[in-house]
Amino acid sequence: MPIIRGSERYNCQVLCFNRKIVMIRPKMWLANDGNYRELRWFTTWKQKDQLVEFQLPPEISEALSQTSVPFGYGYIQFLDTAVAAEICEELFTPNPPHTELALNGVEVFLNASGSHHQLRKLDLRLRAFIGATHTRGGVYMYSNHQGCDGARLYYDGCSCVVVNGEVVAQGSQFSLKDVEVVVAQVDLDAVASLRGSISSFQEQASCKTKVSSVAVPYNICKPFNLKMLLSSPQKIMYHSPEEEIAFGPGCWLWDYLRRSGASGFLLPLSGGADSSSVAAIVGCMCQLVVKEIANGDEQVKADAIRIGNYTDGKFPTDSKEFAKRIFYTVYMGSENSSEATKTRAKVLADEIGSWHLDVCIDGVVSSLLSLFQTVTGKRPRYKVDGGSNVENLGLQNIQARIRMVLAFMLASLLPWVHNKKGFYLVLGSSNVDEALRGYLTKYDCSAADINPIGSISKQDLRTFLRWAANHLGYSSLAEIEAAPPTAELEPIRSNYSQLDEVDMGMTYEELSVYGRLRKIFRCGPVSMFKNLCYKWGATLTPSEVADKVKHFFKYYSINRHKMTVLTPSYHAESYSPEDNRFDLRQFLYNARWPYQFRKMDELVQEMNGDRVAFKETGEDGGAAAGGGGMGVVAAASGNPKAGF
């Protein structure tokens, strides 16, 4: 809860007991990186050595018959145990509060958190709870948000209870429920026993820094009772990355649909891997809705009846029937499209149950080219027909942008054609690697309302397609995944077929590597070159590595401006280049990178000289990498002379 005290606004956890506010605990360390900007709204609580009295607002004071409440950093001392709050980001700081609180006798920690979903992230979160109680004992109660935050993030729940480093209760990670309660029966004697058995804990507790407390004269523990069953340690439930791609964006789409007032989705379905992944996620969403209704969730049922426009007491019982009501797919083919992608799109649409349309855009393209010829006296040609690169790119962009205009027109008017209420949201289908490289047309059919896969890598999407073919019942996805990625924007000839990786000059696997080095490891061109020399040095020469890095940074920089208008996307990957919130870098670079590229050339010359010297002498000097601050570190045991 945001609370203003004096002139400062704090982000607080309000602790209540028996209809009274016991303590207000302001957050001491705020999340201010990645997706979060808490310092924009709040200040940190800095008076760690005291609890102060906070005057409650008149309406709250009157309702509770309570005039003031302790405010600050501290814990609640009941008659039989001590309880404290540790708020969200504080758990992940270098010196988290639970360390000091445990030494002061706190046995139960309450963490009210807002931790968003990211692929393969849950393990990091759970390890933090387990580590917090494994070496110092305690009960860690973690409560997380669940659902769409109104923007790009999806909070994935997974509330849990951990006792002495073991998970004894775990909630669902992806659910359509608005509220989920996780309950566990725990024995606090186990906490005291563990702490008493650790000598170092006893020694550090004897010289601890004292933390303020609020006394509450109540017992909150139940006495020993044979009828009470304690919660046993359980195996942690992890979803595979493929399941995370299905359920996370699927739940996010449902939240977006039910809260936005829209009546459904429209997807330009090309028959390729990306748009087919989005279609499969929408299909998964429909399956989740039908499943939750069957399990008795009245809120999901009410939302589905309203969105699907059901009458006479009917409601969704079949995912394909529900998809037919809320999901349009459109194949917008041209003379450059193949019969194979057209067929794949139709088969997948039938498997999901969407209302599918097949539209030819050649007439609109021809009209625009005729208009251009009338204005300029020239008609552009494709590269395979003798045209220049400029002509070739322009002809591709015309097709892509026509598809965007057509998609939005259909989303606006098809509900009217079919006598449906409301409007449809257009779904985009560009992946994180294409955004990073800029391999998309600005304002093409990827420029949609929202994009469920915009922060997912091509490699993860292809793995997801194989999984979904078996687990979602959409068998055609296996054939789609096996097909080589192509935009189908150039003519197909017997000796030429357009391929994405050839057009980009790099593979999707390489793009994932570049993306992680650029964002997660904060590498510019020179440091990326050094890292890749170590990673790829066995198969590529330094000159070849330098050429690849230069090629990436050239196209990354000249296309960075596209991130400013990138369709809002579900956040799922830690190297997302999304400009709005997560990756706050400039969008204008010097695309020649004069200093960095020159420095790389100098390093290549030095390394080539070292190789020549090595071949001439036949010796290995064992020198550390020059200029990069890198070396070899060895941890040795046994020999007292061994070191670094």
Give the per-residue pLDDT at 510: 94
Whether 491 is in a domain gets the answer no
Degrees to nearest 5, angle at CA 43 with 41 and 44 = 140
pLDDT digits (tens, 9 = 90+) for 133-165: 998 999 999 999 999 988 999 999 999 999 999
The helix/strand count (H/E) of the chain reads as 20, 18
Note whether 220 and 78 are within 8 A (CB).
yes
Residue 638 clears pLDDT 70, i.e. is over it = no
Q: Which of 180-189, 440-449, 551-560 comes out lowest in average pLDDT? A: 440-449
Residues in the chain: 644
**What does 130-194 look like in DSSP terms, one character per residue?**
HHHHHTT--EEEEEE-EEE-SSS-EEE---EEEETTEEEEE--SS-S-S---------THHHHHH
pLDDT digits (tens, 9 = 90+) for 244-283: 999 999 999 999 999 999 999 999 999 999 999 999 999 9
The answer to whether residues 549 and 430 belong to one domain is no
Output the six-digit token pair for 2.
């945001």
Could you give the percent of the chain with pLDDT greater than 90?
Answer: 82
Give the per-residue pLDDT at 195: 95
DSSP 8-state symbol, 496: B
The answer to whether residues 528 and 437 belong to one domain is no
H, E, C per residue of 64-129 = HCCCEEEEECCEEECCCCEEEECCHHHHHCCCCHHHHHHHCCCCEEEEEECCECCCCCHHHHHHHH
The answer to whether residues 303 and 162 belong to one domain is no
pLDDT band of 502, cuts 50, 70, 90: confident
Cβ partners under 8 Å of residue 354, min gap 6: 267, 269, 279, 282, 283, 323, 324, 327, 328, 329
Q: How far apart are CA 101 and CA 444, in angstroms?
A: 55
Look at residues 450, 472, 494 and tell me which one is the last residue of a structural domain: 472
Closest CA to 15 of 74, 55, 59, 62: 74
Residue 619 clears pLDDT 80, i.e. is over it = no
pLDDT digits (tens, 9 = 90+) for 15-30: 999 999 999 999 999 9
The answer to whether residues 297 and 346 belong to one domain is yes
Q: Give whole-number Cα distances, 447 to 267, 563, 568, in Å.
A: 11, 11, 9
Whether 634 is in a domain gets the answer no
Q: How far apart are CA 389 and CA 383, in angstroms?
A: 6
The answer to whether residues 248 and 155 belong to one domain is no
Residue 542 clears pLDDT 80, i.e. is over it = yes
What b/e string do you get for 278-297 counting C-beta neighbours within 10 Å, with b at 16 or more? bbbbbbbbbbbbbebbeeeb
Which CATH number belongs to the domain containing residue 449 in this structure? 3.40.50.620
Give the per-residue pLDDT at 624: 37
Give the per-residue pLDDT at 615: 55
The answer to whether residues 406 and 338 belong to one domain is yes
Q: Give whole-number Cα distances, 527 to 477, 530, 550, 599, 603, in Å.
A: 39, 5, 12, 10, 11
Output the six-digit token pair for 57.
């607002």
Look at residues 424, 447, 472 and tell me which one is the last residue of a structural domain: 472
Output the six-digit token pair for 23.
């303590």
Output the six-digit token pair for 541.
């020469």
pLDDT digits (tens, 9 = 90+) for 318-341: 999 999 999 999 999 999 999 999
Mean pLDDT of the chain: 91
The answer to whether residues 279 and 315 belong to one domain is yes
Q: Tell me the mean pLDDT in the region 292-317.
A: 94
Could you give the percent of the chain with pLDDT greater than 70?
Answer: 94
Whether 641 is in a domain gets the answer no
Whether 281 is in a domain gets the answer yes
Neighbour tally for 159: CB within 10 Å:
20
612 or 392: whose pLDDT is higher? 392
Residue 644 clears pLDDT 50, i.e. is over it = no
The answer to whether residues 194 and 246 belong to one domain is no
DSSP E strand boundaries for 377-464: 424-426
Which CATH number belongs to the domain containing residue 38 in this structure? 3.60.110.10
The answer to whether residues 169 and 271 belong to one domain is no
Q: How far apart are CA 216 and CA 586, in angstroms?
A: 53
Q: What strands, in cross-sheet order, belong to the sheet with 355-360?
A: 355-360, 327-333, 264-268, 424-426
Containing structural domain, residue 72 = 2-215
Cβ partners under 8 Å of residue 297, min gap 6: 176, 177
pTM of structure: 0.90
Give the per-residue pLDDT at 77: 97
What b/e string do you get for 118-139 counting C-beta neighbours within 10 Å, with b at 16 or more? bbeebeebbebbbbbbeebbbb
Continuous segment of H or E residues that includes residue 399: helix 389-417
Encoded amino acid at 100, one letter:
E
Residue 629 clears pLDDT 60, i.e. is over it = no
Q: Tell me the mean pLDDT in the region 509-520.
A: 94
Whether 618 is in a domain gets the answer no
Count of domains forming the chain: 3
Note whether 108 and 141 are within 8 A (CB).
yes
Closest CA to 397 of 439, 442, 346, 437: 442
Q: What strands, in cross-sheet order, belong to the sheet with 51-55?
A: 2-5, 8-17, 20-26, 68-72, 51-55
SS3 395: helix
The answer to whether residues 103 and 20 belong to one domain is yes
Encoded amino acid at 544, one letter:
E
DSSP 8-state symbol, 451: B
Which long-range contacts (C-beta less than 8 Å, at least 24 apart) are formed by 292-296?
292/176, 292/177, 293/317
Whether 343 is in a domain gets the answer yes
3-state class percentages of the chain: helix first, strand second, coil last, to nearest 5: 45, 15, 40
SS3 575: coil
pLDDT band of 621, cuts 50, 70, 90: very low
Closest CA to 156 of 572, 620, 543: 572
Whether 488 is in a domain gets the answer no
Note whether 486 and 500 are within 8 A (CB).
yes
Whether 493 is in a domain gets the answer no
Encoded amino acid at 86, one letter:
E
pLDDT band of 618, cuts 50, 70, 90: low
The answer to whether residues 325 and 468 belong to one domain is yes
Give how far the C-alpha of residue 255 lies from the chain's centroid of Cα atoms, to the nearest Å.
Answer: 16
CA-CA-CA-CA dihedral for 334, 338, 340, 345, to nearest 10 = -20
**What does 2-66 look like in DSSP terms, one character per residue?**
EEEETTEEEEEEEEEETTEEEEEEE-SS---STT--GGGT------TT-EEEEEPPHHHHHHHT-
Residue 155 pairs with which residues in a beta bridge?
Answer: 116, 147
Give the per-residue pLDDT at 604: 95
The answer to whether residues 184 and 245 belong to one domain is no
